[in-house]
Amino acid sequence: MVKAQTPLASNGLALQIWQSKYRYLGTGDGAAETSVADTWRRVARAAASGETDAPGWEHEFYGAVEGFRFLPAGRILAGAGTHHRTTLFNCFVMGYIEDSLEGIFEQLRDSAVTMQRGGGIGVDFSTLRPHGAQAAASGATASGPVSFMGVWDAMCAALLSTGARRGAMMGTLRCDHPDIEAFIDAKRRKGALTNFNLSVQVTDDFMRAVAEDAEWPLCFPLRGQAGRAEVTPIRWSGSTSDVPCQVHRRVSARALWRRLMDAVYETAEPGVLFIDRINHLNNLYYREQITSTNPCGEIPLPAYGACDLGSINLTAFVEHPFTEQATLDHRRLGETAAVATRFLDNIIDISEFPLPAQAEEARGSRRVGLGITGLGDALIMLGLDYDSEAARAAAEGALRVIRDAAYRTSIGLALERGSFPYFEPEPFLAGAYARELPEDIRDGIARDGIRNSHLIAIAPTGTISLLAGNVSSGIEPVFAFEAKRRILSREGRFETHETVDHAFDLWRRDAGRGDSLPGCFVTGRDLSPEAHLKMQSVLQPLVDNSISKTINVPETISRGEFESIYRRAYEWGLKGCTAFRPNPVTGAILSDTQPGPPGFHCCAPEREGD
Distance CA 310, CA 329 (A): 19
> Can you give the C-alpha Rg of the chain in angstroms?
23
Q: Which residue has the higher pLDDT, 30 or 209?
A: 209
The whole-number average pLDDT for the span 304-326 is 96
294 in active site: yes
Share of the chain above pLDDT 90, in %: 78
Q: What residue type is assigned to position 6 of the chain?
A: T
Per-residue pLDDT tens digits for 332-345: 999 999 999 999 99
Instruction: Write down the pLDDT at residue 425.
Output: 98
- Could you tell me the residue ranges of all domains in the chain? 91-280
Amino acid 118: pLDDT: 84
As separate numbers, helices (DSSP H) first and strands (DSSP E) second, the chain gives 20, 20
List pLDDT tens digits, range 414-427. 999 999 999 999 99
Share of the chain above pLDDT 70, in %: 90
pLDDT greater at residue 485 or residue 255: 255
Q: Is 441 left (phi over 0), alpha (psi -120 to 50) or beta?
A: alpha
Indicate which residue of 33, 58, 60, 298 is catalytic: 298
pLDDT at 76 over 70: yes
Indicate the DSSP class of residue 600.
-
298 is a catalytic site residue: yes
What number is the average pLDDT over the span 209-225?
A: 94
Give burial (CB, 10 Å; 0-12/13-18/19+) of 401.
Answer: buried
Q: What is the per-residue pLDDT across 337-369, written as a single tens digit (0 to 9) for each?
A: 999 999 999 999 999 999 999 999 999 999 999
Q: What is the average pLDDT score of the chain? A: 91
**How far is 547 from 533, CA to CA, in rounded Å?**
12
Q: What is the pLDDT of residue 609?
A: 44
How much is the pLDDT for 59? 98
Nearest to 471 by CA among 311, 334, 298: 311
Confirm if 141 and 134 have CB atoms less than 8 A apart. yes
Please confirm, yes or no, whether 307 is among the known catalytic residues. Answer: no
Q: Does 175 score more than 60 pLDDT?
A: yes
Q: Calculate mean pLDDT across residues 189-216.
A: 96
313 versus 133: the higher-pLDDT residue is 313
Q: Is the pLDDT of residue 4 over 50?
A: no
Reported as a single tens digit per residue, the pLDDT across 149-168 is 999 999 999 987 665 566 78
**What's the number of CA atoms in the CB half-sphere (13 Å) around residue 465?**
39
Average pLDDT (309-319) is: 97
For the stretch 404-417, pLDDT in tens is 999 999 999 999 99
**Pick the catalytic residue: 296, 307, 577, 603?**
296
pTM: 0.94
β-strand partners of 495 = 487
pLDDT at 126: 98
CA 159 – CA 165 distance, rounded (Å): 8
Check whether 497 has a pLDDT greater than 70. yes
Q: How many CA atoms, within 13 angstroms, populate the side-chain half-sphere of residue 21?
A: 26
The yes-or-no verdict on residue 601 having pLDDT over 60 is no
Which is the catalytic residue, given 282, 294, 313, 552?
A: 294
Of the candidate ranges 22-31, 124-133, 274-283, the one whose mean pLDDT is the lowest: 22-31
- The pLDDT tens digits for 126-153 are 999 999 888 766 678 899 999 999 999 9
CATH classification of 91-280 is 3.20.70.20, yes or no? Answer: yes
Which pLDDT does position 61 carry in this prediction? Answer: 98
How much is the pLDDT for 140?
80
Asked if 246 contacts 229 with a C-beta cutoff of 8 angstroms, the reply is: yes
Backbone angles phi, psi at 320, to 5 degrees: 55, 55
**Residue 137 confidence (pLDDT):** 63
pLDDT of residue 84: 84
Inter-residue contact 335 to 276 (CB < 8 Å): no
Average pLDDT over residues 96-106: 96
Instruction: List the beta strands (DSSP E) in 265-389.
Output: 271-274, 292-293, 300-301, 306-313, 318-319, 327-328, 368-373
